[in-house]
Each structure stands twice: as structure tokens, then as C-alpha cells.
Structure 1
Amino acid sequence: MKNHRSWTASKKKKWKLIAYIIGGLILLLVLIIAAVTGQLQENSCDNSTTTTQTQLDSKDMTTNAKNIYAHWKQKYGATPQAVAGILGVLQLESRLDPNLVNSSSGATGLAQWLRDRKDKLEDLAHKENKPATNLGVQLDYLDQELNSSYYASNKQIFKYTDVHKATKAWLMDFEGMSKNPEQWYLSQRYGYADHWYSVFGASDPVAGNTLDNASSGDLTELGCDSDPSYSGGSIVKNAESMKGDFYYVQTHPSPDLGSDLKNPSKTGGTDCSGFVWLALNKAGYKVPANMGWFTGSMASDAKGGHQYLKQISENDAKAGDIVIVNQGAGAGNNGHTAILLDKWQGKETKIIQEGGDTSGHVNEGKFGTSFSILLDGGDVVLARPVKK
């Protein structure tokens, strides 16, 4: 009887040991499955959400453009040419206003998303606890689309170095407009793209090379009419006749210029915008009374008022046209302007100016040298004078 009990106890211990081993193996298997599952979830590409939220609120169009550029540069290493090209597309869609909602179709935001794409945008906004019209949400959603297999090929556009090629590629591929030429409006989109490249181009805010596929269309909202008949010869002639004249002073007009501003005293004083005024006035172009402008107001007029200047694209700019660069409002030393002496060639363009060098008189130079201190963040505007 004793031996039977001993055998029974031994058998029970054996089965307990087996049970412990099996239980341990099951527990280990569960932990492995949980770990693997968790890792897969962590590394999976879930197109319905983003791992981080972009914190950006909508402001004015220029600020939105710069914030979008900064986001794409950080996210994709985007070139300024590529971003400018894409913004040229989006500006026509929404004026870069994420709050824009089409009253008839309900299309929403930067890319005017519709139907299921709009629904997905709203789902993401709900997850981020923000409105669908928030700029950061829309950039996150656009990133989400670009990470999907359907739109992923469009990420290569961020590496383009030709502004207009980026514009057309984004319009055809991301917007899917290849079969809708009636909605291309390429001239207008190219005009917008050229403008944004002049605003935030990297080392050279305005392209050093002429674009191969330049548009000669009507850039209505930029105030740019391509005019092949325009000749700025009289402006250049009058500007060059003043070479070596004047001393530099920020007074409009300086009393020592004399009373006849069409024949100003060569020993009088003026500044860069005053010199441009004198050259245009003598050549018979419209100018404000009593030299009443500075580089900030010149740029504003070129972009919108068009009383004295009309903004043009770099592809149209030639001798006799005006270049203006401003940082901020362009007051005082935060702005400079000059007259082009040849066709626009970026930094290599020849100009005539007052100031911009050490002479203190009207002189000739190159855009890249004379405007160098303003090009880091400066707003570059090319403009054509308005004839009386």
C-alpha cells in the first residue's frame, strides 16, 4: 500500500510539472504574439491617421505659402521650385485658404477636396479634434494621401527644379486633370508659381535660368500682361544719361534737385526709388506726384493698384522694366529698386541704380550683387512701367 501511494504521488508531481511547462509555453506564446502584433501595428502604414499633428493655423496668403513651403521642405526635402509650382496649382483652386468651401459643391480647403476624399479629411480632423478647415489638418491629410499607394508617386514632384514642370506635373498627376484641358488654366497657374518662386526661392529667389516652357499668357490676377511690343529703350536712355549723377539721400524730393524734375540738378540728392521716378518721369511714364513713392508702395502698386507699375513674370522682364526687392514693408534700408538694362537673367541681370554700391551715385551693376543683402527672405517683384 505504501509503494502504491508513493507511485501515485510521484505520478501527480510529474503531471503537475508537465502542466506547468505547458502553461509556461502557452504564456510565452501569448507574449510573443502580443509583442509581434504590437510591433506590426506600430510599423504598419495606416492611411487613416497620422503619427504627429501639424500645428498651423491659417493666416494671410503669403504666410500660408511660406508655412506650407517650410512643412514640405522638412517633410520631403522639397525644392523651392517644386513648392512654388505646386502652390501655383493650389492658388487657383483655393487662394491658399484652407477655410474656403465651395457653396455649391461643398469642395473644401487647399485642394478643394470632394466626396470620399472630403469625408476622409473630416475623419482626420475629428481624430485631431480640429475643424476640417484647419491648415495643419489639411497638410496632415495631404501627407496621408501622399503616403497612400495611389498618390505616392507624386512625392517625386517635390524634387523638381523647374517651376513650370512642377506646376503641370501636380495638376496632371495629383489633381488628375490630364483629361480636362478646359480646367488647366496653365498661363494663370504658371504666373502664380513664378510669383511664389520670387518670394521664397532658396539661394537665388529668382531663377538664374530662363524656364524652357515659359508662358506668354495673360496673368490677370498678378497684373501681368505679356506685351512683346513693349520697348523700354527710352527709359534705359534716360537712366543712362544720369550715370554718375546725384548723391544718395532718402528725401523725396531733395530741394537741391531743383524745381524742374524733368531736368534735375546733377549735384542734387535722391535715393533708389527717387532715381527710378526721375528716369520714368523724363521718359514720359506715369509716376506719382512729387516723387511720392518708396519701394514698399511701388511693389504694392505693381501687385494690385497698377497706377504706375504692373507686375510681370521673369520670363517677360527685359530692359526698361523695374526690379523691386523688399524685406517687410520695404521702408528705409529694407528695400531697393533698379532699372533693368537687359533681359532678365536672375542674379546676372545688368541693372542701373542709385545706391547699391559704394559710389553713392547712379551706377551700373548686377542684380545679385547690388541686392544681395535683401535676397535672404526678400520679396522680389518685377514690374513694367505704365505709359501715360
Structure 2
Amino acid sequence: MGVAYELKKKKIKFIIYGVIGFFLAIILIISALTGSLDENCGDDNTTSSQVTDLDDKGMEENAKNIAKHWEKKYHATPQATAGILGTLTLESRLNPKSVNSSSQATGLAQWLGDRKTKLEALAQKQDKSATNLGVQLDYLDQELASDYYKSNLKIFKMKDVHKASKAWLMDFEGMSQNPDQWYLSKRYAFADHWYSVIGTKDPVAGDSLDNANQDEEASANLDCASDTDTGEADGNIIKAAKSMTGYFKYDQVHPSPDLGNDLKNPNKTGTTDCSGYVWLVLNKTGFKVPQRMQWFTGSMASDAKGEHQYLKKVKPSDAKAGDIVIVNQGAGAGNNGHTAFITESWHGKQTKIIEQGGTDSKVNEGRFGTSFSRLLNGGDVVLARPVKK
């Protein structure tokens, strides 16, 4: 009996220890899973060996460095990068040292609360300041790697500047329920500026758009109008174009009755659009134009490349102040086309222009890359010179 009793006690102990061990194993597994979930949840400061070495160098250089970082890490499109930068610019002017005086929100994305605390923890780990540009990019990368934010990675593949800007605002910043803080027109203006800065190619000189190097031999055969038939930049066109700065209400109708009966001296509070404005300037300065404003950007580009009744296509290296830039998507009807005068020799996206519409509803001056940005992804760009009577 004594031996049997001892064996029974050992058996019971073995069972008890086994049960305890089983439950301990379960607890350890649950703890590990919980830790894993915590690491990937929302704003948590996930462990990363990535260290980006970038310092604040002012808004323009910061934008370029951020663009390089995102292109390398996410293969971001220039349009997406510009859109995201546009939204962030309104928040912080791309200044990693930016601090909101009322909320104490900090940095590029104006981090607050727990997110700001985790940004500071990462900075301490890297032995840097939380206002260091590289630290903030690393922390943003950590957030984008988390389950909560990783759906925003698709924004980096977008090819529409304004859509990317709005998507970042709504999805990453979570502002869909706060329309009073959207300020979309300001964000879009910043985004357009950054696209003009970080775009990889001159859309005319490059080979990515249809018109860049199209049918040179064929176009040579069509260029029957001599240089003496076209309007050299003698200053008259630009003088007349600038004299109308601030004129007109924008609408895609012309000729509008409110322009008055004398279209050489149109009513400055009248209504026209981009191609109507170009027509009014050329009509005032004595160049050939169709009767009663009967053209639009599609027909303007077609004439410049073909019949040369009113316009003649010129090479980017020859384009100068007083020439016209036309961009069309498809047939160029409605919002799918835009045109303006260039006010200096052509040098790509930074070329200065004067236009009706674009970045302002009235006649205004700007830069090609900014005013035409929404049309440059696949748009047909034509540089043309007005034809003299």
C-alpha cells in the first residue's frame, strides 16, 4: 500500500505540473501575440533599424529631399509626392521645427498627443532631436508600416496631383469629418507648385508625351509658312496681354455679349475663357484669328501642327515671349485643354506665362508647370507662334 500510495502521489503531481505548464505556455503565447499586435497598432513606435540622415535646409530643399526619400522607399510618382507635399505644406511649411502655438502640434505632419510622444521616443533612440527632418521621415515611415496606416501607401502610386493631396488629407490625416479645415484650394496650389519643381521632365522636351518628338519628318513637310509669316516677339503681344491683367470673369463661352461690341477693346468685366483671352490679345495686336472667337484649344493645336491659318508650331528651343503654349488631353474640349502666352524664352515647367483661368479665374501671371499641372500626365503639349495678317 505504501509504494502504491507514493506512486499515486507522484502521478497526481505530474498531472498538476503538466496542467500548470500547459496554462503557462498558453499565457506566454497570448502575451507574444498581444505584443505583436501592439507593435503593429496605429501609432505605436515599432522597432526599426532605419535611420534617415537629413537636416532641415529650408522649404524648397526639404521638399526635394523628401521627394527623393519617398521615391526610393515607395517608388512614389511625382504627382503623388507633389500632392502629399501640398497638404503637408499647409500644415507646417515643410518645416520640421514647426510648432503650433496653441496645440503644440509638432513637425511636418503636426503630430500631437501619443503620436508626438512616440516621435520623441524615436528621436531619443536615434540620439537626435524630435525636430530633425530625418527622424520625422523615419517616424512617418513607421506609421505607414503599421496596420492602421498602411492602406495609405496606395496614395504614393496616384497620378493625379489634386487627388493625391485630398486622399492624404482625408485618409492619413483623417479630416473627412472636418471640412472647415480642408482649405483644398490652398493645398492644391501648393501641390501644383511642388509638381512644377519635382516633375522629372520638361513635358515638351522630354519623350514621355505624345507631342515630344512626333513625326518630325511629316511636320517638316507641313511647315510651309516662312518665319516672316509669323509673329516674332516684338513686345506688342506681351504688352497687350499684360494690359488685361485682372480682367474678365471665367466661363467657357465666347464671344459672350458682356464683352461688348468692340472686341479690340473688350469690357474688362466681361466673360471669356483661356482660348478666348488669347484670341482677344491677338485680335487687338493685329494677328490672324478666326471670326468671332471660333476656336478652342483642340482646334488651336490642330491648326498649329497642320494648316497654319492662325498659329504655327515651333520647337521648344525657338519658343520665346509672345508665343503660345497649348496643352490638351484627348480632343481638348472643356476642361481637357488650356492655353496661355509665354512671357519669356521657353525653359520647361518654370517658364513664366500669362493666362485666363489656370490658377485664378481672371487674367493672371504664373508658371507653366503650376497652371498646366493637371493636364501634363499624358497631355499633348504644343508651342505655337501667331501668324501675322
Query: Normalising by the residue count of structure 1, what TM-score does the alignment of the two structures yield?
Result: 0.50
2:160 is the alignment partner of 1:202: no
What is the aligned partner in structure 2 of residue 74 from structure 1? 72
Residue 87 of structure 1 aligns to which amino acid in structure 2?
Answer: L
| 2-structure distance, mates of 1:123, 1:360 | 55
How far 1:380 sits from its partner (Å)? 5.0
How far 1:244 sits from its partner (Å)? 3.7
Taking only aligned residues, the RMSD between alpha carbons, in angstroms, comes to 4.5
C-alpha contact (below 8 Å) 1:64/1:96 kept by paired residues: yes
Residues 133 and 361 (structure 1 numbering): CA distance in 2 closer, same or farther, change over 3 Å? closer
SS at match of 1:100: coil
| 1-structure distance, mates of 2:80, 2:86 | 10
| 2-structure distance, mates of 1:57, 1:357 | 38
| 1-structure distance, mates of 2:234, 2:152 | 44
String of CA shifts for 1:327-365, please: whole Å, max 9, x gaps: xxxxxxxxxxxxxx96599x9997889984569998777
String of CA shifts for 1:56-79, please: whole Å, max 9, x gaps: 111221211111111001000100
What is the aligned partner in structure 2 of residue 107 from structure 1? 105
Residue 54 of structure 2 aligns to which amino acid in structure 1?
Answer: L
Residues 140 and 279 (structure 1 numbering): CA distance in 2 closer, same or farther, change over 3 Å? same
What is the aligned partner in structure 2 of residue 157 from structure 1? 155
Query: Normalising by the residue count of structure 2, what TM-score does the alignment of the two structures yield?
Result: 0.50
What is the aligned partner in structure 2 of residue 285 from structure 1? 243
C-alpha contact (below 8 Å) 2:45/2:118 kept by paired residues: no
String of CA shifts for 1:214-244, please: whole Å, max 9, x gaps: xxxxxxxxxxxxxxxxxxxxxxxxxxxx964
2:148 is the alignment partner of 1:177: no
C-alpha contact (below 8 Å) 1:199/1:380 kept by paired residues: no
| 2-structure distance, mates of 1:164, 1:192 | 10
Unaligned 5+ runs, structure 2: 1-31, 211-227, 246-272, 279-294, 305-310, 329-341, 356-362, 366-389
| 2-structure distance, mates of 1:163, 1:68 | 16
Q: Does 1 or 2 have the higher relative contact order (CA < 8 Å, sep 6+)?
A: 2
| 1-structure distance, mates of 2:128, 2:189 | 33
Give the length in aligned residue pairs: 236
| 2-structure distance, mates of 1:81, 1:358 | 28
Residue 99 of structure 1 aligns to which amino acid in structure 2?
Answer: K
Residue 163 of structure 2 aligns to which amino acid in structure 1?
Answer: K
String of CA shifts for 1:274-327, please: whole Å, max 9, x gaps: x3844232456189xxxxxxxxxxxxxxxxxxxxxxxxxxxx865657xxxxxx
| 2-structure distance, mates of 1:65, 1:344 | 35
2:388 is the alignment partner of 1:379: no
What is the aligned partner in structure 2 of residue 91 from structure 1? 89
| 2-structure distance, mates of 1:102, 1:362 | 45
| 2-structure distance, mates of 1:137, 1:121 | 8
Residue 174 of structure 2 aligns to which amino acid in structure 1?
Answer: G
Residues 379 and 362 (structure 1 numbering): CA distance in 2 closer, same or farther, change over 3 Å? closer
What is the aligned partner in structure 2 of residue 290 from structure 1? none
Residues 64 and 379 (structure 1 numbering): CA distance in 2 closer, same or farther, change over 3 Å? farther
Residues 379 and 107 (structure 1 numbering): CA distance in 2 closer, same or farther, change over 3 Å? same
Q: Percent identity?
A: 51
Unaligned 5+ runs, structure 1: 1-36, 210-241, 247-274, 288-315, 322-340
2:98 is the alignment partner of 1:127: no
| 2-structure distance, mates of 1:176, 1:279 | 48
What is the aligned partner in structure 2 of residue 327 from structure 1? none
Residues 108 and 278 (structure 1 numbering): CA distance in 2 closer, same or farther, change over 3 Å? same
| 1-structure distance, mates of 2:116, 2:186 | 26
Residue 170 of structure 1 aligns to which amino acid in structure 2?
Answer: W
Residue 176 of structure 2 aligns to which amino acid in structure 1?
Answer: S
C-alpha contact (below 8 Å) 2:46/2:142 kept by paired residues: yes
1:52 equivalent among 46, 50, 53: 50
Relative to structure 2, which stretch is displaced further, 132-141 or 184-193? 184-193
C-alpha contact (below 8 Å) 1:198/1:205 kept by paired residues: no
Relative to structure 2, which stretch is displaced further, 46-55 or 349-358? 349-358
Residue 90 of structure 2 aligns to which amino acid in structure 1?
Answer: L
SS at match of 2:86: helix
Residues 320 and 52 (structure 1 numbering): CA distance in 2 closer, same or farther, change over 3 Å? same
C-alpha contact (below 8 Å) 1:199/1:205 kept by paired residues: no
How far 1:85 sits from its partner (Å)? 1.0
| 2-structure distance, mates of 1:60, 1:135 | 11
Residue 350 of structure 2 aligns to which amino acid in structure 1?
Answer: D
How far 1:164 sits from its partner (Å)? 1.4
Residues 156 and 381 (structure 1 numbering): CA distance in 2 closer, same or farther, change over 3 Å? farther
